[in-house]
Structure 1
Amino acid sequence: MGGGTGSLAKAIAEAFPQIHCTVLDLAPVVAGLEGRRNLKYMVGDMFHYIPSSDAVLLEWIMHNWSDEECVQILKNVKKH
């Protein structure tokens, strides 16, 4: 979520090829980025929808939002 160009997800995908990583971010951020066999990019908004997954990585996300917005993000994570 809010993964930008996916530098952390790329490192995880390369180190652990059995793990499938999805980078979720807004369209202007992920437009034109190409995934790999176990890395894909998905257009989305963490305030509206977070795709189902086994784990969600929030690196450098919560510091940028108000407490209320952080609660909304975490509620969306919990839905899946």
Structure 2
Amino acid sequence: MTFLATSGIFREKTHQEHGVAAPEPYYHLTTASRLLVDDEDTTRGGHPCISQLLAMCSSPFIFTASLNLDEWLKEEEDARTPFAMAHGAGVYDVVRRNAAFGSCFDEAMASDSRFVSEIVVRDYGKVFAGVTSVVDVGGHNGTMARAIAKAFPHVTCSVLELPRVVDAMPADGTVEFIAGDMREFIPPAE
């Protein structure tokens, strides 16, 4: 905990009792560590949690890929990514063939979408002025598309996702889910 406090992830405090400092410190959340706590009630000032994204970034698949950065940076050709160098396949191919990593990846992308959608709608809403249609490519469960559709009802939102994801999504009338592969086809939209 001392390392995390020194790094700014937590704030260390000591407890004063009768004018004497307690032997054990206690810790408070900082702006950075609040992002790791599940507090999705944004109506009361809460915020989305991105701990799943950090879990994926520290997974063996991503860590192993990072070990290839040195070799990748020295290559003259941009033929393969560090991930492909480490695993013999791209991220999406590994997501499809490894259920555990696929689940970790899906959760990470969902947590990132919850975090980013709030910022997009709040700070960049002017981008949607005059736009009538949006396709969220690789939008998983439609978090970003739903946030846009809710904030800007004039925008028709679709999500292009892999069939395995689309098949698991219940229809709710807010967004349209389209099964496909972004490497093969992206539906037209503004």
TM-score range, shorter chain: 0.5 to 0.7
Q: 1:18 aligns with which of 131, 148, 154?
A: 154
List alignment gaps of at least 5 residues for structure 2: 1-136
Change (3 A) 1:35 1:41: farther
User: How many angstroms does 1:49 deviate by?
Assistant: 0.5
Pairing 1:36–2:173 present? yes
- Equivalent in the alignment of 1:6: 142
Runs of 4+ in 1 over 4 A off after TM superposition: none
Aligned length: 53
Mapped partners of 1:30, 1:15: distance in 2: 23
Q: Give RMSD over aligned pairs.
A: 1.2
Q: Which has the larger radius of gyration?
A: 2
Structure with the largest fraction of helix: 2
Q: Percent identity?
A: 40
Amino acid at match of 1:30: V
List alignment gaps of at least 5 residues for structure 1: 55-80
Greater relative contact order (CA < 8 Å, ≥ 6 in sequence): 1
